[in-house]
Amino acid sequence: MEHAAPPAWVMLAYLISGVFFILALRGLSSPATSQRGNRFGMAGMLIAVVTTLVTHDVASLPEILGAIAIGGGIGWVTARKIAMTDMPQLVAAFHSLVGMAAVLVAAAAFLNPEAFGINGADGLINPVSRVEMGLGIAIGAITFSGSVIAFLKLAGKMSGAPILLPLRHVINLGTLAAILGLIAYFTIDQSPWIFWTITALAFLIGFLLIIPIGGADMPVVVSMLNSYSGWAAAAMGFTLHNTAMIITGALVGSSGAILSYIMCKAMNRSFISVIAGGFGAEAAATGGAAKEQRPWKRGSAEDAAYMMQQAESVIIVPGYGMAVAQAQHILREMADVLKKQGVSVKYAIHPVAGRMPGHMNVLLAEAQVPYDEVFELEDINSEFAQTDVAFIIGANDVVNPAAKTDKTSPIYGMPVFDVDKAKTVFFIKRSMGGVGYAGVDNDVFYMDQTMMLLADAKKMCEDIVKALGSGH
Amino acid sequence: MNACWRDGGIMDFISILSIFVMACFVGYYVVWSVTPALHTPLMAVTNAISSVIVVGALIASAAAGSPTAKWLGLIAVALASVNIFGGFAVTARMLAMYKKKER
């Protein structure tokens, strides 16, 4: 049975929807245009949904509207309530839903190929469509189970430590080969057992791929799963000959791939080594090693307040520890007071400062830090040499000069802030005991111009704000 | 052979493949132009738009023929809707927080 081509306006509608999705991403090139971009995205989705509904014989409209209402309600309430610090796990959870939806759509297409117009004249599913369905369900299932594990690790419901199975590389490669082999065989024989075996193996491999990856690599994993969810949508777009789905799949797939690349580069990790997993296991092992005792200076809130008031320029380097201590609001107040006193204040953000790409920028935006005071690593790094005060709060590895000098360091090669070039460095830390995510000591602690502010980040910022006020 | 390879079926596939390849290039350049400050909203919104897979879910749930396929479709519609509404709403919420310096 041959699939009748849909009317021209339908194809155009899906094309417009796809173009609107491109404009949605295009809008994100600047915060000023981003909200309009988001509205383009919503409009594109509306066009796609309405076009599908009016061109298909929808006997079950009430059920469909019910499903949209239930799902939409859950999504909307979650989006309203979620804390910005929990964004990585929310995104991981959302990825898992896209993955599961792709699996369900591919399964439905397999069970009812006629509805999708993918049957050949012989009454069997077209071989090309079988490949597309096989890929769609496999990528969807990998996205689902991988995202579930990523969600559990990010939400702290499962240990972030890598779980290393013996022979895991052999098992993983074997499973992947089996999936690809079965998809190839599926073009010859469309027996249900093949289809369901592909599905089961894909769920398994998604799980196996993510459990050996440590918490530190989660920004890469979340980006990678973002990419997978796009490829899953694209594969289903091929099955349905739907332009909107294909364009979207390509956009999302590229987006996730580029973000993974940016994150890997920011950590000086190769993509292969992230996928292979195990990072964090060796760091945990070396983290407990004996540390040499070197002299360091302890500063007080008053010292910090005084030095920053005297300074012309201050660069704040926030890390995830700041968000854990919920210090971003009081930090912004501190910056406001300094700015009122004529000090230039800038924020320097490392790509891996948060738990996902751009996470720190969102956390600062939430604390009402103007985005034009926030700078990326490569844009601000040369300024430290002319800066009076570098104020490090909740960051550690991203300011560690060992990344530039010590070839044996686990973070060697990672781009870091040149805070050691600033005239004075204030380093907020809970205690001298703990070390960063990578478990390495930091020479910045022991520099002549460094003063350690040993306290909870929020408490310390509050004290500095008080000291700034009283000194006036 | 079969239907797909006859009647210009292969041409259909090639034209769709062309759209896909072009869209990959568009995606590459558009995503590199996204400012790093907005990478988290980028992930949230790509999440929302990848739920365009709801189109397939709607087709499955609208079609007669297989009750199982219909129910799978309805579940997929619900899951994709979580993402569509949640993804766009959370993106809008984040973007609204980005403010310029008051002068």
- Tens of pLDDT, residue by residue over A70-114, are 999 999 999 999 999 999 999 999 999 999 999 999 999 999 888
- Tens of pLDDT, residue by residue over A378-387, are 999 999 999 9
Q: Quick one: tokens of A234?
A: 């694209």
Nearest CB to A71: which of B20, B77, B98? B77
Residues 54-73 of B with CB under 8 A from A: 54-66, 68-70, 72-73
Instruction: Classify the C-alpha dihedral B98-B101-B102-B103 as positive or negative.
Output: negative
pLDDT confidence tier of residue B4, bands split at 50, 70 and 90:
very low
Nearest CB to A112: which of B35, B66, B87? B66
Give the C-alpha distances (Å, rounded to integers) separating A317 from A60, A323, A336, A361. Answer: 55, 12, 16, 12
pTM: 0.89
Question: Which one of the listed residues A189, A217, A397, A420 is annotated catalytic?
Answer: A397
Residue with tokens 């920011």: A266
- What ipTM was predicted for this assembly? 0.91
Q: Quick one: tokens of A284?
A: 């945990």
Is the minimum CB–CB distance between B85 and chain A shorter than 8 Å? yes
Is the minimum CB–CB distance between B18 and chain A shorter than 8 Å? no
pLDDT confidence tier of residue A279, bands split at 50, 70 and 90:
low
Residue B2 has pLDDT above 50, yes or no: no
Q: How far is CA B69 from the centre of its chain?
A: 21
pLDDT confidence tier of residue A119, bands split at 50, 70 and 90:
confident
CA–CA separation, A2 and A122 (whole Å): 10
Nearest CB to A104: which of B19, B57, B88? B57
User: In chain A, which residue's Cα lies nearest the Cα of B36?
Assistant: A358
Task: Give the residue ranges of DSSP H helices in A187-280.
Answer: 192-210, 218-240, 243-267, 271-276
Is the minimum CB–CB distance between B33 and chain A shorter than 8 Å? yes
**Helix or strand or coil: residue A389?**
strand
Task: Give chain B positions within 8 Å (CB) of A84.
Answer: 94
pLDDT confidence tier of residue A226, bands split at 50, 70 and 90:
very high
β-strands A424-429, A313-318: how paired? Answer: unpaired
CA–CA separation, A33 and B45 (whole Å): 14
pLDDT confidence tier of residue A285, bands split at 50, 70 and 90:
very low
Closest CA to B77 of A5, A68, A293: A68
Kindly determine whether residue B32 and residue A258, on different chains, have CB atoms separated by under 8 Å. yes
Task: Give chain A positions within 8 Å (CB) of B15.
Answer: none
- Is residue A448 among the annotated active site residues? no
- Tens of pLDDT, residue by residue over A170-217, are 898 999 999 999 999 998 988 999 999 999 999 999 999 898 888 778
Which residue did the predictor score with more confidence, A110 or B62? A110
Residues found in chain A: 472
